[in-house]
Chain A
């Protein structure tokens, strides 16, 4: 498995994983909006091959953390390493699924075209997508069960279908690390199951998947790692070790009971 994956990665310009290197390492990261810190002194080490939830209350900085790791937001302090190197040189190893609400779904384009956008990163500037990219996009659509909708205008898709399109777009990037910002927001139960199954498959294939997640109930069922975040990092580690009342209370401020762990 490992060998296959490394061979795969070797074709890209990023540096592939090697034993003992963390998939993501965040040091002393502080991000501020208008001089008000929304993330404060975050240290985070994410090992390769985990399926990790980032949980925390509204305004805890969960999306901000992902955006800062991906260089979309400039931190005022701290550094980020992807497999030991700065993000800029490791772009092709990373796929990103923004919040569904962050784009205009009335944009004149089709499902297939949106998925094709996932291939743009490896193409680089100016070069256009060709048959190979189209084939990869169609395969990704197939994986998320959206092939029959490939030519549909994106505003004509339901919320769950739009989220699947976003997932397919990330799959087509064939990355090592996937960042997803609330992929379960506003989707129906069937789609939620379909998405989590794909995420679990990614983990099985040795990929690292990091998900901003809202539903605490499903954390133990879906994820094996979890990070508690509320402006500062509260805790990070395996779900079985740290998903407990203590950390939930520290994160959410109220006396939290994990009545969900049967």
Chain B
């Protein structure tokens, strides 16, 4: 690996981590679309900043663009507060306006400005190593690396300092306010960090990938864990994985790095979406199937409990009378036998003591919805897991 390759991968990883942290909270606050709005509407901030500084990596430019991001959020909230449109509509109204101002500004000044729309949308990670930072004449590495590195350090410091405040205001804004942790202050803090990160990552990966890096890792992690700290860690890990695998995918295809990283994020999310152990599509489908069978089992057991007559409990009668297909009857009967809930004697099905007790408990639960009695059944039966 050449040093340029290592530098590109390092930048990609730092960008991924810096995005995953605020992204996690955006996802939990159901504000994923806001990151899309920010990433587009900072464009005029970048353009104006560029006119002033003539340097895409100037701190002033980052500041200006980040302020545009916060203005976007404020505008969206203002439009929404009029009560005339909903939040998604407000987002859809505000960011195209700001973005188009940026596009016009670029087009009008295309001759003087070394900035084109393609690069803005998709970034140019491959060129990042060419723009280097010199301190006292010494080359200390690519400018983007320094910028995103500093942003990341600040983000991590803020995350550690305000983790508790972020958590409580995200989970319960009302309690947060009553305890003196202003949800508004924390909200704008998060928006500022998101804006700064977006600008810092913008140059490297472009407006579209920034959104993907913020949202996809957190969305995937959300399906895998129910612990906020693990969720953050997983999101960071997913970000790094996509950055590295995306880089090599692009290398192999000789294609856009930003595009490849986004593709990897998509693939990763799809995998998690399908195969996540409890929230994944396959797990959910399996659980629903099991629940269906369990409902049938309960129906069957209840029938046995209600009928003492042998006629009603004959295997053939069950097939005909409950009106199930043979295969379904067999599944249910097997499950009942496996759990020692029924016994079959001479083709007459009877409830065992265990089956009788189970049925009473289950019916009682369904009627009263009181959880306490069925705690021990939750492990065996999906039906009772709520």
Interfacial residues, chain A to chain B (CB-CB below 8 A): 34, 67, 70-72, 88, 91, 94, 96, 98, 102-104, 107-110, 113-114, 117, 120-121, 123-126, 128-129, 153, 155-156, 158, 160-161, 169, 188, 190
Contacts and interface: CB of A to CB of B under 8 A. Distances in A.
B165 A125 contact: yes
Interface of B: 28, 30, 83, 161-165, 167-168, 170-172, 174-175, 177-181, 222, 225-228, 230-231, 368-372, 385-386
Nearest to A105: B171
Contacts of A153: 226
Contact of B181 (A98, A120, A128): A120
Nearest to A121: B179
Nearest to B229: A108
B370 A190 contact: yes
B174 A108 contact: no
A72 B171 contact: no
A156 B385 contact: yes
Contact of B164 (A67, A72, A94, A129): A129
Chain B facing A: main interface SS: helix
Contacts of A109: 167, 171, 226-228
Nearest to A91: B180
Given A121-B180, A158-B386, 16 more contacts: A71-B177, A88-B180, A94-B178, A96-B178, A98-B175, A104-B28, A104-B30, A108-B28, A109-B171, A117-B167, A117-B168, A117-B175, A120-B179, A126-B161, A188-B369, A190-B372
10 contacts: A91-B180, A96-B178, A98-B172, A110-B226, A121-B179, A125-B162, A126-B162, A126-B165, A129-B164, A155-B226
A124 B182 CA distance: 12
A70 B179 CA distance: 9
Contacts of A160: 371
Contact of A102 (B164, B172, B371, B386): B172
A88 B177 CA distance: 11
Contact of A72 (B161, B178, B226): B178
A62 to B, nearest CB: 14
Nearest to A73: B177
Contact of B174 (A72, A110, A124, A126): A72
Given A103-B171, A108-B226, A161 B371 contact: yes
Contacts of B222: 108
Nearest to B162: A126
Between B28, B168, B175, B370, the greatest number of chain A beta carbons within 10 A of the residue's beta carbon is seen for B175
B168 to A, nearest CB: 5
Contacts of B170: 107
A98 B368 contact: no
Contacts of A72: 174, 177-178
Contacts of A107: 28, 170-171, 228
Nearest to A109: B228
A110 B171 CA distance: 12
B172 A123 contact: no
Nearest to A117: B168
Contacts of A158: 369, 371, 386
Given A156-B385, A161-B371, A91 B179 contact: yes
